[in-house]
Amino acid sequence: MISVSILEDSPPFAAELVRTLSASPGIVLLDRFGHAEEALEKMPQRPPTVALIDIHLPGLSGVECIARLATRLLDTSFVVLSSHDQDAHVFDALRAGAVGYLVKSQSGDGIVGAVRLAASGGSPMTPAIARRVVRFFSQPQLQNRPELLGLTPRELSVLAPLAKGLRYKEIADQLGIGEETVRTHLRNIYAKLHVTSRTEAVTKYLGH
């Protein structure tokens, strides 16, 4: 039997999940939690085979919850089930310890199939998200460059035009974000790359 716990703050969606999973042979529903703090307290008491977790929750985020639980529940497969599919959310969740990422528009059969796949050691992902993950890790700049793997897709999208000599305002216009947002991303990039200047960041990005 595949045991499943749900962390979902929307009662209607959680109820639909419960109905879908309860009607699926070979799957048993253990618990349904409404917020991350409750899951952190109670899930370790009855570890599921698979945990379906929304990432936008009241209080502590689902990503932080996964990060904390993944170090304690080594035999549990964490799969995100969220209405948010932006790259930053996807990669933050995967870095935290999720093995899969689905959007809530996934059909009931698709969710059940994802649970079975995760339980068997696979990594279920909505096709569009899987394609983006593959594209991200196939970027030439990331080949044999472990120091760059800690950067989010958005941070890489800021760093790439920076390496071409674009000014902050030009980068902001190109990405459709504010100039101050560009500066915030750059501060995060500098911290992750352990550099203190634009020149050092570009040098490391180009592999020089």
Average pLDDT per block of 10 residues along the chain, 208 residues long: 95 94 94 95 96 92 92 94 77 85 90 94 86 65 64 82 85 85 90 86 77
What's residue 142's pLDDT?
Answer: 58
> Measured on CA atoms in the order 40, 43, 48, 54, is the torsion positive or negative?
negative
What's residue 175's pLDDT?
Answer: 82
State the amino acid at position 175 in one-letter form. L
What's residue 135's pLDDT?
Answer: 65
Same-domain check for residues 25 and 79: yes
Number of domains in the chain: 2
Same-domain check for residues 12 and 87: yes
Same-domain check for residues 104 and 190: no
Question: In which domain, by residue range, is 194 found?
Answer: 140-206
Same-domain check for residues 112 and 173: no
Same-domain check for residues 94 and 145: no
What's residue 106's pLDDT?
Answer: 86
